Chains A and B, each alone.
Chain A
Amino acid sequence: EVQLVESGGALVKPGGSLTLNCAVSGVSVTNDWMSWVRQAPGRGLEWVARIKQGTNGGTTDYAASVKDRFHIFKESSKNRVFLKMDNLKVEDEAIYYCTHESGSDWQLDSWGRGTLVSVSS
């Protein structure tokens, strides 16, 4: 069974930085694709970033709204995925979910319970 546990959410000021952590069990982050998805208060789900298979690397993709500010990476030895967020904006405030991908059509078959990022001065 795949289990994903996010941590690292906090209250930060606009312009600040934060790194989210996703502890993964049941699958290997080396071999699988992982994504971060967020939900702002009162809004729908929004894809943030994706990292493909590969040891401590792998090709990455980003939503236009976070490109050049967010960085997704993984640490294969600890089976964890991270999301480093720089220059945070008020509109980045959301619950951030770590997700596991399977298949060929971007199906997110496992989700964590999420971690809350608040951005306010």
Chain B
Amino acid sequence: QSVLTQPPSASGTPGQRVTISCSGSRSNIGSHGVNWYQHLPGTAPKLLIFGNSERPAGVPDRFSGSKSGTSASLAISGLQSADEADYYCATWDDSLGGVFGGGTKLTVL
């Protein structure tokens, strides 16, 4: 059971917009910025969004993040087959340290 709650799966067709939610509590999302990672099997995870909504250099603006209270979400617009991957939210928890969501497997139909 992960400290941050994500749906285990999400799906969409090419060109669609999908969102992935991440729910936490006051000691983690409520107190710290949320980061999102994209992980393709067999590769190193990649930072996609940091500080709730900022994109590192090189990340397309199709990816966006937001936070409200103790929840956050990742939106992917103009879905592409290359976006098929596992997505994780993460933040710091005042008691537990680093915490990740359980991950959401995104399927592009």
Contact partner, B97, options A44, A62, A111, Cβ 8 Å: A62
Q: Which secondary structure dominates chain B's binding surface?
A: strand
Contact (Cβ within 8 A) A106 B35 = yes
Interface string of A29-44 (1 = CB under 8 A from B): 0000001010000001
Contact (Cβ within 8 A) B90 A106 = yes
Interface residues of A in 84-107 (CB under 8 A from B): 97, 103-107
Contact partner, A105, options B32, B43, B103, Cβ 8 Å: B32
Contact (Cβ within 8 A) B51 A105 = yes
**Count, chain B residues at interface, CB 8 A:** 28
Tell me if B101 is interfacial: C-beta within 8 Å of chain A.
Answer: yes
- Report the number of A-B residue pairs with Cβ-Cβ less than 8 Å: 74
Tell me if B50 is interfacial: C-beta within 8 Å of chain A.
Answer: yes
Tell me if B99 is interfacial: C-beta within 8 Å of chain A.
Answer: yes
Tell me if B68 is interfacial: C-beta within 8 Å of chain A.
Answer: no
Q: Which secondary structure dominates chain A's binding surface?
A: strand
Contacts of B44 in A (CB 8 A): 97, 111-114
Contact (Cβ within 8 A) A106 B91 = yes
Nearest-neighbour CB distance to chain B for A110, whole angstroms, equals 8
Tell me if A46 is interfacial: C-beta within 8 Å of chain B.
Answer: yes
Contact (Cβ within 8 A) B47 A35 = no
A residues apposed to B, CB below 8 Å: 35, 37, 44-47, 50, 61-64, 97, 103-109, 111-114
Question: With A47-B98, A63-B96 given, can you name 4 additional A-B contacts, CB distance below 8 Å?
Answer: A45-B45, A106-B91, A107-B47, A113-B44
Ordered nearest first, which 3 A-B pairs have the shortest CB separation?
A47-B98, A105-B33, A107-B50
